[in-house]
Amino acid sequence: MLSRRSLGLALLGTALVAGCSTTRVVDSQVQSWSTLTTPPAPPTYRLDKLPSQQAAAQAFAPIEALAHAALQRAGLQRDDAQPRLIAEVGVRSGQALPDWPHYPPAWWGWGPGRGWRPGMRAGAMLREMPPTLHRREVSVELRDARTQQVVYETSALFEDVWTDDPAVFGVLFDAALSGFPQPPQGPRQVRLPLAPTGAPR
């Protein structure tokens, strides 16, 4: 069995190898449910922000832009005046020490049930700490604008030691919307590249 120190070094080595790669891959855990058989006609949507997202409008703006880009890559067109679908999105981000299961994760984000919990334990010695595990999660909910019924629900989760790049949220939105409007039902793995910062996606 690997010691904490050996496991920490192994995880750090994985992180460094990933950091040297030309293209990083985000291997996300996706779960989707859909009652749609075809895209709506016309395939228009409006993104509604939750009260917490409105209150933090400036901080949420980059996430909102990533969500719009992913929705449009999925074949939807933004139309705030006459949408066929109403979209709501959520994000969560946290850090944890993967080898110490008694650590509660520290979360921040927007959406139902989002909150902050401290993730440190008194008396911890730095030399025992494994590399920080970064956890990122997004969710997308689409409702019929006329009936208000949820017609599409999906989420994507990624956790690893090598990145805390905010651009990963854009990849997760793409992963969550992969297969729209008829994705495989239930959990699946989706692997997508993370483009270098500033590169087109």
Residue 36 sits in a domain of what CATH number?
3.30.160
Residue 200 maps to a domain: no
| Helix axis angle, 168-176 to 57-73, nearest 10° | 40
Query: Looking at residues 164-168, what average pLDDT do you find?
Result: 77
Residue 83 banded pLDDT, cuts 50, 70, 90 = very high
For residue 30, what pLDDT is reported? 98
Residue 190 maps to a domain: yes
Token pair recorded at residue 1 = 């069995």
57 touches 21 (CB < 8 A): no
For residue 165, what pLDDT is reported? 72
Hey, what amino acid is at 88?
Answer: E
pLDDT tens for 33-60 read 999 999 999 999 999 999 999 999 999 9
pTM for the whole thing?
A: 0.72
Using CB atoms within 10 Å of the CB of residue 113, give its burial: 0 to 12 exposed, 13 to 18 middle, 19+ buried: exposed
Q: Residue 15's domain spans which residues?
A: 4-194
Number of compact structural domains in the chain:
1
